[in-house]
């Protein structure tokens, strides 16, 4: 039961992180503060991650964590540049205060998992 909860948490964290990135990059205020090339690079990786999630709902915890690290490797340098330039409102994708979850060196550094998906039960948890 404990392993299943960790697996669901890892899946939700990855899903929340990918959707928050997309939401942040779709913010009309940010479109002119990030290069089209950087924006497309992150959006493509986020879309790829979401598609992978759709096709791998039963993946293991480690697979979800690996996919999140892959997405962070693409997005972190670009998002760091955006935040350091003062371009991003709200402090983090999705307007969450405190920095990006699992963001090396950022204000949210040290978080054990992405904090984006921890708000309430999911369908998997209710079943």
Domains and CATH numbers, the chain: 2-126 (1.20.1270.10)
Overall average pLDDT of the 98-107 stretch: 41
Output the 3-class SS for the chain. CHHHHHHHHHHHHHHHHHHHHHHHHCCCCCCCCCCHHHHHHHHHHHHHHHHHHHHCCCCCHHHHHHHHHHHHHHHHHHHHHHHHCCCCHHHCHHHCCCCCCCCCCCCCCCCCCCHHHCCCCCHHHHC
Q: How confident is the model at residue 84 (pLDDT cuts 50, 70, 90)?
A: confident
pLDDT tens string 10-54? 999 999 999 999 998 888 888 778 888 999 999 999 999 999 999
Q: Residue 126 is encoded by which pair of tokens?
A: 């209710």
pLDDT at 31: 77
């Amino acid at each position: 039961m404990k392993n299943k909860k960790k697996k669901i948490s890892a899946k939700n964290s990855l899903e929340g992180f990918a959707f928050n990135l997309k939401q942040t990059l779709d913010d009309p205020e940010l479109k002119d503060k990030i290069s089209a090339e950087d924006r497309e690079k992150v959006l493509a990786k986020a879309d790829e991650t979401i598609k992978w999630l759709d096709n791998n709902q039963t993946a293991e915890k480690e697979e979800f964590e690996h996919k999140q690290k892959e997405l962070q490797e693409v997005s972190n340098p670009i998002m760091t540049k955006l935040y350091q330039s003062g371009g991003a409102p709200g402090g983090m994708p999705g307007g969450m205060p405190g920095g990006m979850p699992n963001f090396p060196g950022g204000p949210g550094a040290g978080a054990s998992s992405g904090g984006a998906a921890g708000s309430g039960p999911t369908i998997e948890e209710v079943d």
